[in-house]
Chains A and B, each alone.
Chain A
Amino acid sequence: MDLESMYQEIILEHYRRPLHAGLREPFDAQVQHVNPTCGDEVTMRVTLKDAGPDAILADVSYEALGCSISQASASVMADMIIGKTAAEAMRISEEFLALMQSRGEGEPNEDVLGDAIAFAGVSKYPARIKCALLGWMAWKDATAKALSERQTGEQT
């Protein structure tokens, strides 16, 4: 069975014991994203320190309702990007998106992606790519919102 290539042990680990889960205060921006085909949803909060691309992601908290892939992906993501700058995290997110769009052909860059390389097998299953990206897309959206609010806040 090829299931193990998708459900790597590290994914199942994060699914069973998600890291940084639960919504926390304070936060700069909150978004809710859904996967319309299955109804999976994630609420994502981002807390920044400072402003601009060098702003630090002081906290990323979330509440996810969904399959093992979407939950584990949110957990891996939060664990990787908390404490990084928005620009660094964005680079990881772009690398992850490229991996997910590779239809199983991508060479995952472990230096950038860390544990997230475990999702390489998911990219072979088009129906599941959205699951793996749900948390990342929500984070990106929340961060853009938080950054723009910070900027507006600085100007006034």
Chain B
Amino acid sequence: MTTLASRTGSLDIEAIRSDFPILGRAVRGGRHLIYLDSGATSHKPRQVLDAERDFYTTRNAAAHRGAHLLGEEATDAYEGARARIAAFLGASPGEIVFTKSATEAVNLVAYSMSNAATAGPEAGRFAVGPGDEVLVTESEHHANLVPWQQLCDRTGATLRWFGVTPAGRIDLSRIDELINGRTRLVALTHQSNVTGVVPPVAEIAAAAHQVGALVLADGAQSVPHQPVDVVALGADFLVFSGHKMLGPSGVGVLWGRRELLEAMPPFITGGSMIEVVRMEGSTFLPPPDRFEAGVPAAAQAVGLAAACDYLDGLGMANVADHEEALTAHALEALGAIDGLRVLGPLDTQHRGGAVSFVLGGIHPHDVGQVLDELGIAVRTGHHCAWPLHRALHAQASTRATFYVYNTHDEVDALAAGIRQAQKFFGTP
């Protein structure tokens, strides 16, 4: 097989696997765990767990409060994490806003836009209303769709969307009509969590900027899996989650261009985001603090910074290469199974490592059940992308996603497991 040559990448997978304690555990019937669900959440290496534990055991305090030593050290750790994550993306620290998740980061922008209507002249450029359009794509995760539907419901703006081609690519044939003088914001995925499709964000962003629209890219599936530089990306906002990139849960990131964050009104309000508070009203701090009300999740931010260290240590280009090889292998192995249809492109061009498929005559829940019995963890259902499934004529699908710790043997085990499911249910 010609693909075999590309199967030996520059990552030492066995060494990587030894950093992830959970990969050593046994699952159903004492079997080895084969974890192919990193698109939902990734596992955490010792280095990330140690960084979080070290914060709690040596520097734990409420960051940005108190003049005591621990408070200072906690603040340094938290702000150091911000700088580390900025460096990971080619951004500056003042452009990194910590949220609890990518979902919250999208909501932050959406609610800031509806708050803009009453937040004074500086914020006026973010306000939307009747006659304005918000443009999304049919392939969005619900997290980058529902907040925009809701923004439109609150403000009277109109939601429009790019459709998808039968291969699951964004259909750009109507781009000139869809991106027009009424378009105020374009929100799109940077890598589909179902098809793995990586749309031409820079090209779409350039078209959006020509008409003065803002662009938000959902990087929940791209930032963990490929080198991402916010300048090259061309968007105005980028959101992602820590837990999908070897980091802890409970921390996400909004990156925004500094001059935009400066002019945006807050979303969640309360302590530590204010400048002056009087009974009659309050003023707010500059970004990023303006968007970080409450005691920050410092230990989680520190853990996420450690995840950036870990990924940079491997090299994001190597990570992407490894996943591309696994994806090519999976597309080949699964493509050879009768009655199996892959949702999305059948090659690895502009495509990340999510391989979703439907199997004739067997519901994804039943496929997943057989695979689980074999120790193989996959995702089943619509993966929070119901409209995309509808567009691709699938009620639901089974999804395998890959990460730094996955091996080619695991891909073979997946293919064998799918055949076993077919045998069990007597199909095709």
The residues of A with any CB-CB pair to B shorter than 8 Å are 1-3, 6-7, 12, 37-40, 65-69, 125, 128, 131
Q: Are A128 and B365 in contact (CB under 8 A)?
A: yes
Contacts of A12 in B (CB 8 A): 425
Residues 318-375 (chain B) with a chain A CB within 8 angstroms: 363-366, 369-370, 373
Q: Are A38 and B424 in contact (CB under 8 A)?
A: no
Contacts of B365 in A (CB 8 A): 38, 40, 66-69, 128, 131
> How far, in whole Å, are A112 and B396 apart by their CA atoms in the complex?
34
Of A2, A37, A125, the contact of B29 (CB 8 Å cutoff): A2
Min distance, Cβ A70 to any Cβ of chain B, angstroms: 8
Most chain B C-beta atoms within 10 Å of own C-beta, residue among A2, A12, A40, A128: A40
Q: Which of B54-62, B302-310, B379-387, B402-410 makes up part of the contact surface?
A: B379-387
Q: A1-B29, A39-B389, A65-B395 are in contact. Are A128 and B369 (CB under 8 A)?
A: yes
Min distance, Cβ B32 to any Cβ of chain A, angstroms: 15
> How far, in whole Å, are A65 and B364 apart by their CA atoms in the complex?
12
12 other contacts beyond A39-B381, A68-B363, with CB at 8 A cut-off? A1-B373, A2-B29, A6-B369, A38-B382, A39-B382, A39-B395, A39-B396, A40-B365, A65-B395, A67-B363, A68-B366, A128-B369
Tell me the dominant secondary structure on chain B's binding face.
helix
Q: Are B364 and A67 in contact (CB under 8 A)?
A: yes
Contacts of B370 in A (CB 8 A): 3
Min distance, Cβ B158 to any Cβ of chain A, angstroms: 26
Q: A2-B29, A39-B395, A67-B363 are in contact. Are A7 and B381 (CB under 8 A)?
A: no
Min distance, Cβ B388 to any Cβ of chain A, angstroms: 11
Q: Are A68 and B425 in contact (CB under 8 A)?
A: yes
Size range of the chain B interface in the assembly = 10 to 19
Min distance, Cβ B423 to any Cβ of chain A, angstroms: 11
- Minimal Cβ-Cβ distance residue in B for A122: B369
Q: Are A38 and B381 in contact (CB under 8 A)?
A: yes
Q: Are B381 and A37 in contact (CB under 8 A)?
A: yes
Min distance, Cβ A89 to any Cβ of chain B, angstroms: 26
Residue B28 CB within 8 A of the other chain: yes
Min distance, Cβ B98 to any Cβ of chain A, angstroms: 29
- Minimal Cβ-Cβ distance residue in B for A68: B366
Residues 8-64 (chain B) with a chain A CB within 8 angstroms: 28-29
Q: Are B369 and A39 in contact (CB under 8 A)?
A: no
> How far, in whole Å, are A131 and B182 apart by their CA atoms in the complex?
44
> How far, in whole Å, are A128 and B363 apart by their CA atoms in the complex?
13
Q: Are A38 and B369 in contact (CB under 8 A)?
A: no
Min distance, Cβ A73 to any Cβ of chain B, angstroms: 12
- Minimal Cβ-Cβ distance residue in B for A3: B373
Q: Are A125 and B369 in contact (CB under 8 A)?
A: yes
Q: Are B28 and A2 in contact (CB under 8 A)?
A: yes
Contacts of B381 in A (CB 8 A): 37-39
Q: A3-B424, A128-B369 are in contact. Are A38 and B364 (CB under 8 A)?
A: yes
Contacts of A6 in B (CB 8 A): 369
